[in-house]
Amino acid sequence: MIGILYVFHGSQKNEKNQAAMDFIQQLETRMDPTFYQATAFLENHSDTIPSVAEKMIKHGVTKIIVVPVLLFAAKHALVDIPAELDVVKERHPAVQFVQTETFGSKKGSRQVLLERFQEAAVTYPDDELVGILVAHGTKQTEQPQEVLVEIAEEIQQQVGFSIAAVSLKGKENYLEEIKKQVSNHQRPVIVPFFLFDGHLITIMKNKLKETFPTTDFIMMPTLEFDPRILNDLEQIVKEAVTCIQ
């Protein structure tokens, strides 16, 4: 039997974890009903990867497709998830595991981000805007920042004002990077490239107030579990199913 294990980072807020599970339930209805589907969290939830995977195996699952519901392949996808899977693999060497790619570079996310900047342009037609696309980031690998820059450049061509790609946990200080975009005649538009509004975004907003007390930032929403992301995840899962069968 094929099992699909969706993995989220996990939030300190229970309602966000519940929203994540509700989001995935919409995807589950699109899949083959014979698949055993379940959700696990890396942090802040009792449904860990090993505990959920063990439950799947007890129900007869012999092939598990692990889907990181994460934007980019950084530490969580490259290190943390494989490390937790290794615990299960040692106990069940006959079970086959396949981990899929992440979804942040796909079409659905790009469409949502573009609309966020377009909405700001329509809402503030008399302001000269400068865009700032903010993601989590990582110091471990260059790829997430490279993809973020590529997405920012793509959106910039469509909205007609410059957009900088900034990472909260990247190699550069994000406040210094934002400072480069702040000027007296341009109003900064920040679009957080996150699945939902969580702890890191709250910290960022507070830091922005402290660092730029006189700057009037336009803060746009996150991806907010937009249903277009489901299309990307569905395609990722179905490609993995083809490989594992």
Domain extent, residue 168, equals: 107-219
CA 45 to chain centre: 18
Taking the whole predicted model, whether its pTM rises above 0.95 is answered as no
pLDDT value for 58 = 97
Mean pLDDT of 158-186: 91
* Residues 196 and 19 sit within 8 Å (Cβ to Cβ): yes
State whether 118 and 18 are in the same domain.
Answer: no
Helices (H) and strands (E) in the chain, counts: 9, 8
For residues 155 and 45, which has the higher predicted lDDT (pLDDT)?
A: 155
Looking at the chain, the whole-number percentage of residues with pLDDT higher than 90 is: 84
Looking at residue 116, which CATH number applies to its domain?
3.40.50.1400
Q: Concatenated DSSP letters for 9-32?
A: ---SSHHHHHHHHHHHHHHHTTS-
Identify whether residues 81 and 133 lie together within a single domain: no
Residue 170, pLDDT above cutoff 90: no
Tokens of 229: 């992301």
pLDDT by residue (tens digit) across 122-151?
A: 999 999 999 999 999 888 888 999 999 999
My answer on whether 18 and 86 are in the same domain is yes
**Residue pLDDT, tens place only, 174-192:** 999 999 998 878 999 999 9
CB 39 within 8 A of CB 47: yes
Q: How many distinct structural domains can be found in the chain? A: 2
Fill in the DSSP letter of residue 97: E
Q: Is 29 left (phi over 0), alpha (psi -120 to 50) or beta?
A: alpha
Please say if the pLDDT value at position 14 is more than 90. Answer: no
pLDDT value of residue 198: 85
Say yes or no: 240 and 213 in one domain.
no
State pLDDT tens for residues 220-236.
999 999 999 999 999 99
Q: Quick one: 206 and 236 in the same domain?
A: no
- How many beta carbons lie within 10 A of that of residue 84, not counting itself? 19
Tens-place pLDDT, residues 32-85: 999 999 999 998 788 999 999 999 999 999 999 999 999 998 889 999 999 999
Q: How much is the pLDDT for 171?
A: 84
Tell me, what's the pLDDT at 75? 86
Q: What single letter denotes the amino acid at residue 157?
A: Q
